[in-house]
Chains A and B, each alone.
Chain A
Amino acid sequence: MTDTLIVIQAASGELGKSDLSAVGFGLELASAAGGQLDLLLLGPGAEAQAGPAAALGARQVFTMGGAELETYTAEVFAGATAFFLEGRSYRCVGAATNSASREYFPRLAAVLDAPMASDVLEVESVDPDRAVFTRAVFVGNLLATVELEAPRVLVTCRASEFEPPPSSEAAPIEAVDAPGGLAHPGKAFVGIEAATSDRPDLKEADIIVSVGRGTRGPEEGIPLCERLADVLDAALGATRAVVDAGWMANEFQIGQTGKIVAPEVYIAIGLSGSIQHLAGMRNSRTIVAINKDPEAPIFEVADFGLVADLFDAVPELTAALEKRSG
């Protein structure tokens, strides 16, 4: 009981970036426990992904497909994983945090009667009867140490906190047949509508580039900020002044009478930081401000400030970040 299993949702034929990180996380778990890592690929893309997955340092790769696993549902995935675990012993069963593992992992935990740690940032230690992790609580304002006392634990990880593993020798691949009757008779998948916007949603974005009156509108500064947002894969936000001027639509307004956001990074460009605006973003983890007026109140809440003309600074920053990210 020192081995680790990482479960990967193989919806398509290609391993996702977060899946790679999850494997990295799995390797950390396995080494902390002094055991080996196995991977379980679930879903229609399992076979196609098995090859690349086998070259990530795992001991073995299992795949499970079939009609019932064609579309993901929490009931089927929890059932399939539970079935797979029957007769196999793992110290840790893990996955990357995503909308699927957020629901099927706890369901699985209930079925298996195993304690679970969600969305961990760090692996502290994995002993035979105790596993210790670090995770964020209170909107990421604090870190908590969580101890799970059980011979088998479930754990999901925040993918961005773990490195994808270097490639290594190919591991053996084994196809496991899915049992019948996994699907819950009371649940039907009706359909999925793919997200249309090419930018992340304001409320969920990790990074927000927010523009103020200082940008002087869609003909001048706003495109510069959009470029920066593109490079950062950030959402765009705006002050009411920008919305009132008709430069951006209502839905972009952040603040007291707009949206209330708390991203990891909030980049405020050419906005003064009125209390009405602060009311909507002051809980952001890190606030960066670019403003040419050193007296602008936004600097009082900013973690990092740059007193500069945005028309110079924003393109420069975009270029610098582009260069760094290669």
Chain B
Amino acid sequence: MKLLVTLKRTPQRDARIRIAEGGDSLDLDNIQFEVNPFDELAVEEALRIRETLGEAEVVVVTVGGEESQQQLVSAMAMGADRAVRIDGGGTLDSLQIARALAAVAAREEPDLVLSGKLAVDDECGQVPAMLAGLLGWPQANQASSIELSADGASVTVVCEVDAGLETLRLDLPALVTADLRLNEPRYASLPGIMKAKKKPVEVLAIEELCDPGATRSRVTGFRALQEKPPGAILGSVDELAEVLVEKKLI
């Protein structure tokens, strides 16, 4: 069985992101990056499936520049077998990324694609469903549990939907996105990191894979949500109620 996990390089979860001067980009100097936490859950799940099967290949793929190599290594340090990096050059929108990933999926022919439900930086959460749409595969979003059938032909997925927990059965090949409760990722370990450095990373230019089309969605500016006021000590309960309601906090 082959499992393909898509992942994205995102700023470290505790990092405080500032807007660069001018307001049209972010100041990402001195920011550490990591594997998008939801994608990490997807990697962990793939590894667990491999563990239950005893044998399976876990391939991680990202669309990004040189710098995202590090996140592929992190995923391989957790235990993924190999990695593919699609060098896009410049800004790509979700659909372009999904196209590139679809091309990789067509080449790799995985049985299951796993993704995080959302990237914590832009919080769009579009790529996985677009990818499923492009591939014409069944999809399940925000999974809190994934179970492979005994014959390995389908997965039963419990999804966290607004109304509760929905159970779906998907025939493979299929795409599933990971939600918070899916699992608890393992720690990328020292020998894992050492080993990961020796594992193969295939780098492909996006043009080699597909025609990504034009970039039609871009972020043109940032604004800070009104800077947090320095903690205000209020005089009365009424004042507090006022503030809460007025600021649309409640």
Q: Is B one of A's binding partners?
A: yes
Q: Nearest chain A CB to B132's CB is how many angstroms away?
A: 6
Count the A residues whose beta carbon is within 8 Å of the partner chain — how many? Answer: 80
Across-interface contacts of A103 in B (CB, < 8 A): 129, 139, 141, 177
Assess the A110–B129 pair: CB atoms within 8 A.
yes
B166-A142 in contact (CB<8A): no
Contacts A113-B95, A147-B218, A320-B237: A300 and B231 contacting too (C-beta < 8 A)? yes
A62 at interface, CB cutoff 8 A: no
Interface residues of B (CB under 8 A from A): 11, 14, 16-17, 19, 26, 93-95, 98, 117, 120-134, 137-139, 141-142, 156, 159-172, 174, 177, 180, 213-214, 216-225, 228-229, 231-234, 236-238, 240-241, 243-245, 247, 249-250
A98–B98 Cα gap in the complex (Å)?
Answer: 21
List chain B residues, Cβ under 8 A from A75.
138-139
A to B CB contacts below 8 Å, 14 in the list: A109-B126, A110-B133, A138-B11, A139-B123, A147-B220, A149-B216, A188-B168, A189-B166, A286-B247, A288-B244, A294-B233, A305-B233, A320-B237, A324-B245
A207 within 8 A of B: yes
Residue from the set A147, A149, A320 with the largest chain B CB neighbour count within 10 Å: A320
Given A143-B225, A147-B218, A320-B238, do A192 and B233 touch, yes or no (CB 8 Å)?
Answer: no
Q: Do B180 and A306 touch across chains, with their CB atoms under 8 A apart?
A: no
Closest residue of chain A to B99 (Cβ to Cβ) is: A110
Residue of B nearest to A300 (CB): B231
Closest residue of B by beta carbon distance from A82? B133
List residues of chain A with CB under 8 Å of any chain B CB. Answer: 73-75, 78, 98-100, 102-111, 113, 115-119, 132, 134-150, 184-196, 203, 207, 232, 264-265, 283, 286, 288, 294, 299-308, 312-313, 316-317, 320-321, 324
Residue of B nearest to A111 (CB): B133
B32 to chain A, nearest CB (A): 15
- Asked if B249 and A107 make an inter-chain contact with CB atoms under 8 angstroms apart, the answer reads no
Smallest CB-CB separation from B238: which chain A residue? A320
Q: Give the contacting residue for A99; candidates B11, B128, B142, B218; CB below 8 A.
A: B142
Question: Which single member of A147, A299, A308 contacts B231 (CB below 8 Å)?
Answer: A299
| Known pairs A99-B160, A306-B237 / 5 extra A-B pairs, C-beta < 8 Å | A75-B138, A115-B217, A118-B124, A134-B223, A191-B167
